């Protein structure tokens, strides 16, 4: 994959789980096939993983995520969801069928390839 550009992963969750404790927040790697398959690729090519933190917003989380990625060739871009957004997703959208789709690169950015999931009507 060398020379093919950086990978951008857009997923419903980041590849880490953030546990809330009395001492604060503690991250640890998430399991699962997507994480197992793509984190090594991100380490090799560099890039960014965009997704929900799995938690409510807390002022300490952005720095916690930067610290996790320090020394790595990739970064996290957290998405924070409101209670209403979480309820709509987990009570509706998520339960629909999914199909794989890919989008073309924008003009002038030939090294960007986006692959994602979309609902199938």
Q: Is-contact 102 115, C-beta < 8 A?
A: yes
Q: What is the pLDDT of residue 43?
A: 92
Q: What does DSSP assign to residue 59?
A: T
Q: Structural domain boundaries of the chain?
A: 7-96
3-state helix/strand/coil string of 21-40: ECCEEEEEECCCHHHHHHHH
Q: What are the tokens at 34?
A: 């997507």
Q: Which residues pair with 47 in a beta bridge?
A: 7, 74
Nearest to 116 by CA among 7, 9, 5: 9
pLDDT of amino acid 119: 42
The pLDDT averaged over each successive group of 10 residues in the chain (121 residues) is: 72 90 90 90 92 89 94 92 79 50 44 44 41
Task: Work out whether strand 47-52 and strand 16-21 pair parallel, antiparallel, or are unpaired.
Answer: unpaired
Q: What is the pLDDT of residue 11?
A: 87
């Amino acid at each position: 994959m060398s020379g093919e550009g950086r990978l951008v992963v857009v997923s419903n969750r980041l590849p880490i789980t953030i546990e809330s404790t009395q001492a604060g927040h503690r991250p640890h790697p998430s399991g699962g096939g997507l994480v197992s398959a793509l984190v090594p690729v991100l380490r090799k090519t560099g890039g960014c993983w965009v997704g929900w933190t799995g938690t409510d917003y807390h002022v300490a989380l952005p720095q916690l995520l930067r610290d996790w990625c320090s020394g790595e060739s990739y970064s996290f871009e957290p998405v924070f969801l409101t209670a209403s957004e979480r309820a709509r997703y987990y009570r509706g959208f998520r339960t629909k069928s999914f199909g794989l789709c890919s989008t073309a690169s924008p003009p002038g950015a030939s090294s960007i390839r986006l692959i994602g999931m979309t609902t199938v009507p």
